[in-house]
Structures are given as C-alpha cells and as structure tokens.
Amino acid sequence: MPTDPEDAGGLRNTLYKKETRSKRRMTPARRFVWKIVAAIGVFLIKTFWRSCRVVRIVGDENMAAALAASPSVIPVYWHQHQIFCSKYLFDQKARGLKLGFLISPSVDGDIGVMVVAKFGGHSIRGSTTHTGARALRDYYDALVKQGLSPSITPDGPKGPRFVFKPGAILLSQMSQRPIVPISWCASRATLFQWDKFVLPWPFSRIVIAVGEPRQVPRTLQPAALEAWQKDMTAELKRLFAVARDTLEAK
C-alpha cells in the first residue's frame, strides 16, 4: 500500500519533489484529513454521475480505433466539460486506456491525487501555468514510457475560454500519439458565468460525442501550428453541436 500520495496514482514524477509553490508539507494529521475529504469527494462524484443518464455516445468507435492503433492517446476537451468527459475516459479502462491527469504539485493537490487514484487514474504532478515546459516533458514521458493517456483541457482552468492552446498539438508531434477530441451536452445544466463550467442537473440526459483521432505530423512547421489550433477549436465546437443536436432529436 503506498503511503505517499505521490505514489497513489501509480506514476512518480520528478516535478513534484522539485517544485511547489507552497512551503507546506504533508503531515500525518493532514494526510488523515485529506483522505476523508477525498473519500467524500469520490462519493459525491459517483452519486452525481449515477443521477444522470448517458443516452448515447456518438463516435465511440473513434476511441476504440485510436486505442487499437496506439498504446496511448491524448484525449482533449474544454475545461468546462470536465465532468462527463472524464467519466467517459475512466470508462475506457476496459479498453486498456490508462488515464492520467496533471495535478498541482502543492500539498493541496494531494487531494486530487487521492481522488484520481480511487477512480483508477494516474497523476502527473505539475502546473501548466508555472511549470509548463516541464509538464510537457512529463506528459511525453507518461505517454511514451508509461503508456499513459493524459487528459488535457486545451483552454486550461484560467482560459482564455474555448481557445485551443498549442500544448496538446506539440505533445502529439513529439510523441507521435493521436489527439482524440471529446465533447458532451446535457438536457438540463447550470452554466457558471465566471468560467462557463457546465454542471448538469441530476437526472439529466447526456450525449457524448467523440471525434476522429488526429495525428500531428512529426515534421509540423511552426507556421502550421496556428492552423492546427484553429482546426482543433472548430472540431471541439462541432462535436458539441453534434451532441446537442443528437440530444434534441431524442
């Protein structure tokens, strides 16, 4: 049984030991409290997921094809769509997908590590805001050496919203692993104005849409990077429209 939250997700990352913005350290008392908080969080998430009903997954064959062709993939979705895209990805464990999440190297981030581990996921300790270059390196190691599929929100928690940043594209170029875009829509949901995060109401109907795998060429020129960003932005918007239209047709 691992005793260090860093090990709980099954992936050790050098970044966690080297860089953290907080001077606080994990103590036995804090670890005990964190475990309680994580257990409550897992219970609430599972209860919420069970209260909603996924009525259709459009393009599920795209994920199956990507996993059949590659040992790991790069799932991407907007930060605002975390809640059901992550559920869909956790459900892909039966297909061999080892899902990873970038989690803050701070002590508070250990709660996220514990939660992710409870769902069978893996943690990559780092911050796209403060340690982006190292996070990209660690994403690469996770993809290529660990066979991990890191979940990436290309607009990030701090935005700008619905802008596809280049990280996932560069990672696909470096690792030669495909990007798999995902979106979803709910029959009823609350949209939080400050970051547009979508929280479906209990007992909502959910449609998930999965796009075709996109492999960035190894020889991608810098001038073509912006075109890829625009294309991936358009694809995520298209997938949301597919999910919405499918839901309305039911």
Domain boundaries, the chain: 5-16+25-249
How much of the chain exceeds pLDDT 70, in percent?
A: 86
Task: Output the pLDDT for position 23.
Answer: 60
Domain spanning 5-16+25-249, CATH architecture: 3-Layer(aba) Sandwich (3.40)
- Spatial contact of 92 and 62, defined as CB atoms under 8 Å apart: no
Is 172 a residue whose pLDDT tops 70? yes
Two tokens at 226? Answer: 């912006």
Is 97 a residue whose pLDDT tops 60? yes
Strand ranges for the chain from DSSP E: 53-58, 74-76, 99-103, 122-125, 149-151, 179-186, 189-191, 198-200, 205-210
Task: Output the pLDDT for position 77.
Answer: 97
Is 161 a residue whose pLDDT tops 80? yes
pLDDT in tens, 229-241: 999 999 999 999 9
Which residues lie closer than 8 Å to 214 by C-beta, 6 or more apart? 172, 178, 179, 180, 181, 232, 235
Is 24 a residue whose pLDDT tops 80? no
Is 96 a residue whose pLDDT tops 50? yes
How far apart (Å, rounded) are the C-alpha atoms in residues 193 and 27? Answer: 37
Q: Label residue 27 by pLDDT band (50, 70, 90).
A: confident
Q: Label residue 5 by pLDDT band (50, 70, 90).
A: very low
pLDDT in tens, 38-62: 999 999 999 999 999 999 999 999 9
Say if strands 205-210 and 179-186 run parallel, antiparallel, or are unpaired: antiparallel
- Spatial contact of 190 and 201, defined as CB atoms under 8 Å apart: yes
What is the average pLDDT value for the chain, to the nearest integer?
A: 87
Q: What is the mean pLDDT of residues 194-206?
A: 87
Q: What is the mean pLDDT of residues 199-205?
A: 93
